[in-house]
Amino acid sequence: MRQLGRDERLAIYDDLQRGKSISHIHRETGHDRQTVRDIRDAGDPRQQTSPPPSPVRTSLLDPYHQYIRERVQAGCVNTAVLFDEIRQMGYVGGRSTVKNFVQPLRPTLLPEPVQRFETAPGRQAQCDWASFGRLAYPDGTVRPLWIFILTLGYSRCLYIEFVHDTRQDTLFTCLEHAFEAFGSVPTEILSDNMTPMVIAHPVDGPVQWHPRFAAFAAFHGFTPKAARPYRGQTKGKVERPIRYVRDNFWPRVHRIDGVADLNRQVATWVLTVADVRIHGTTHQRPMDRRAADIAAGTVWPSSRRFWYGEEIVRRVYNDGYVRWDGHSWAVGYDWIGQDIILQRQPTGGVVIRVGDRVLHHYPAPTHSHDLIGTPGPIPVLPRTRTGPAVSSRGAHHVSAPEVEQRSLATYEEVSQ
């Protein structure tokens, strides 16, 4: 029953003062008899003070409102991150309370309609680059910071690597690292029209692939696919993880000791957060669908690397070296007289190999006409004799001639 206002209570009190009975007021106003009695017993409403205001309800989240507002203003609107942070500060409430508080603080974005499509296990992966600003090193060096992300289409498992550039050699390295992490290669890889992959992609024509990338794809046995121009939504399975990394992983990074340290942090985050969450589309954990995705792909041995550098064939000299590019490169005495392959790497270094067997990895030379590496100890060769060998079996031994022996006195007599 609703609470009566001051004017209503005053009217009932005046009727009571004029002699109306409680039953009469009940029939006239419809108010409960007990309510009329309470007004009679309370006395003249004109002489009553206003009731004290109801106490303001407090929330377990109240002490953290200012911190959350500051974090949202700084760009962190992911409630999972905020919940983890304030829980470490002592918050004992629920996550839904945090979500309800953050919701009106978020900027309103109008979503663009897209058509969802799903792929079978092992069928497709999507990859992309994203800029994460610049990374400053203690020596004053400042380098661009990029992220490479590959998402398995069926499971939504992620491979993430931070790098300093988006060159083709770096792309090949990141893709091979992803193949190694998953142990398999998907049937096709979808990307946007990035320069290391695509030379041209007209809206109404076929894709012109970069020859080296086409060779890379053929070597690893996957079919490259390019998103339609100006339609980034085609590869939404990798676009959304990029936003997820920005919102969920990046706010957790408080210290960076170089790109290697950053990659260790993001690998831990993938294993403990990203791949074990309930995915919003599949409603399953990516880790639980990972095995099916990998089993349906092509098994990728870790030793299978695409040799994408310049290849030169040289013969090993008898000092155990080969000459190339103004330098002498040590191979080894065991390879004297044989042809080997020298291959320049993206770092400027050189790999020396015979077929698929890698003999040496050498860094980039620092001076001209360098003598690089050592061929190892000189092998001990058996001594050889010139001329025919003589067997001791049946050999004839020639004795020395007999010499006449004379006394020294004889020579003295002759000399006199």
- Nearest 10 degrees: Cα torsion 249, 255, 258, 262: -20
Position 293 scores a pLDDT of 92
Q: How far apart are CA 215 and CA 221, in angstroms?
A: 10
Tokens of 5: 């206002």
Q: How far apart are CA 101 and CA 99, in angstroms?
A: 5
Q: How far apart are CA 196 and CA 211, in angstroms?
A: 10
Give the CA count within 13 Å in the CB-facing half-sphere of 331: 29
Is 218 found in the same domain as 170?
Answer: yes
Task: State whether the Cα torsion 282-286-289-294 is positive or negative.
Answer: positive
Is 316 found in the same domain as 293?
Answer: no
Is 277 found in the same domain as 148?
Answer: yes
Q: What is the mean pLDDT for each group of 10 consecutive residues in the chain (416 residues)?
A: 74 86 85 86 76 69 92 84 92 91 77 62 91 88 92 94 90 92 94 86 81 88 83 57 90 89 96 91 91 91 69 89 88 93 75 89 80 84 52 43 58 55
Establish if 139 belongs to a structural domain. yes
Position 398 scores a pLDDT of 42
Is 240 found in the same domain as 140?
Answer: yes
Establish if 32 belongs to a structural domain. yes
DSSP string, 359-384: EEEEPPPSSTT-EES---SPPPPPP-
Is 203 found in the same domain as 99?
Answer: no
Establish if 89 belongs to a structural domain. yes
**HEC string for 153-172:** CCCCCEEEEEECCCCHHHHH
Position 307 scores a pLDDT of 66
Task: State whether the Cα torsion 148-176-353-376 is positive or negative.
Answer: positive
Q: List CB contacts of 111: < 8 A, sequence separation 6 or more.
A: none
Tokens of 307: 């040799």
Establish if 363 belongs to a structural domain. yes
Is 258 found in the same domain as 200?
Answer: yes
Q: How far apart are CA 319 and CA 331, in angstroms?
A: 9
Compute CA distances 197 → 176, 211, 213, whole Å: 15, 8, 6
Is 201 found in the same domain as 100?
Answer: no
Backbone angles phi, psi at 175, to 5 degrees: -65, -45
Give the CA count within 13 Å in the CB-facing half-sphere of 141: 9
DSSP state of 275: G
Is 144 found in the same domain as 30?
Answer: no
| Domain enclosing residue 333, as ranges | 311-372
Establish if 389 belongs to a structural domain. no
Is 177 found in the same domain as 136?
Answer: yes
Strands ordered across the beta sheet of 350-354: 311-315, 339-344, 350-354, 357-362
Is 197 found in the same domain as 174?
Answer: yes
Instruction: Please state whether beta strands 198-200 and 184-185 pair in parallel, antiparallel, or not at all (unpaired).
Output: unpaired
Q: How far apart are CA 190 and CA 198, in angstroms?
A: 12
Number of structural domains the chain divides into: 4
Q: How far apart are CA 322 and CA 371, in angstroms?
A: 10
CATH number at residue 226: 3.30.420.10
Establish if 131 belongs to a structural domain. yes
Is 130 found in the same domain as 210?
Answer: yes
Q: List CB contacts of 118: < 8 A, sequence separation 6 or more.
A: 153, 154
Position 155 scores a pLDDT of 93
Establish if 400 belongs to a structural domain. no
Is 164 found in the same domain as 69?
Answer: no
Q: How far apart are CA 212 and CA 220, in angstroms?
A: 12
Q: List CB contacts of 12: < 8 A, sequence separation 6 or more.
A: 4, 25, 29, 31, 36, 39
Establish if 116 belongs to a structural domain. no
User: Considering only CA atoms, which of 319, 326, 321 is closest in space to residue 340?
Assistant: 321
With b for 16 or more beta-carbon neighbours within 10 A and e for fewer, the 83-101 pattern comes to bbbbeeeebeeeeebbeeb
